[in-house]
Every structure is written in structure tokens, then in C-alpha cells.
Structure 1
Amino acid sequence: MGNPREVARISYESFECAPSLKLEAHERVSKLQIDGLNGRIDRLEIIIERLERRLWLTVYGVVGVILAQAFQSIIERLP
């Protein structure tokens, strides 16, 4: 460590790696952002599937009530 070349080399090494470290940090941040977006998309797809199931259940319920009323009116008119 008493050698001046070693001290100079250590300071230059960290400076030379700075662009590489910035690029790696940017890649990590980008990956985290993309992973976050993919997670949100997955959650939205699950929510949409649940909503779609509820919608179809509502449609089938309304159709069932209409058919029940139709059959009830037909049965009331029979002698």
C-alpha cells in the first residue's frame, strides 16, 4: 500500500468502472420496473377474469328470471 502506483490504480479502477456500474444499475432498475408492470398486469388479468365471471353469472341470473316468469305465465294460463 506504500507504493504510489497501487494507490493511483485503486482510484482509477473505481473511476473506470463508473460507466459500467451506471449501466448495471440502470439495467437493474429497468428490470424492477418491468417486473412491477408485469405484476400489475397479472393482477389486472385476475381482476378482469373475476369481473367476467360475475358478469356472466348476472346474465345467466337475468335470463333465468325471465324464463321463470315466462314459464310461470304459461302455467297460469293452462286450464
Structure 2
Amino acid sequence: MGPLDTSHVISNIRTKVDGDTAKLYCYAMAQHFPAGESPDPERTRHALMMNRYDADLVRDGDAWRISRLIIDSAWFSGDPSVLLPND
């Protein structure tokens, strides 16, 4: 994917920590506009999607890192070509 103007919202976050590993489940709604065209009311070309995230995490010092990630598309609205790079 090329450069895009995007906004992401994460919700319904559930985690289960077991020592230095964890499981994470959440929803992510992502709005995408062609670069430089973010939410201008005169433009309607966009791609909006809702995804379910299923991730395994591992502790790395004070941070958590994703060791496995599955993204499952729940729904999509808009123009899918917004996600394609411009040639």
C-alpha cells in the first residue's frame, strides 16, 4: 500500500496475560483516503473497513511485541482501489 491518509479506531480490546506471553483480541475500524485528500467534504472516495484482530504477544523488557497476528475482515465499504498504489 502506498501513502494514504488514514484514521484507525481500536475497540472491544480483550487480553489474557500468562507470564511473559499474552493473547489479544480486538476490533479495528480503519478509514482510508487517497494521500492529501483526507476527510474533505467535497471528496467522497474512501475505503472504510472493520477488522477483527487475533494476536499472540510476548514481553520484550518493558514492551509487548506481536509474535503472531491474524486479521479477519468483518466488513468493507467504499472504493477498494483507494488501497492500491498509484503508478
Normalised by the length of structure 2, the TM-score is 0.17
Larger Cα Rg: Structure 1 or Structure 2?
A: 1
Larger RCO: Structure 1 or Structure 2 (Cα < 8 Å, ≥ 6 residues apart)? 2
Larger % of helix: which?
Answer: 1
Normalised by the length of structure 1, the TM-score is 0.19
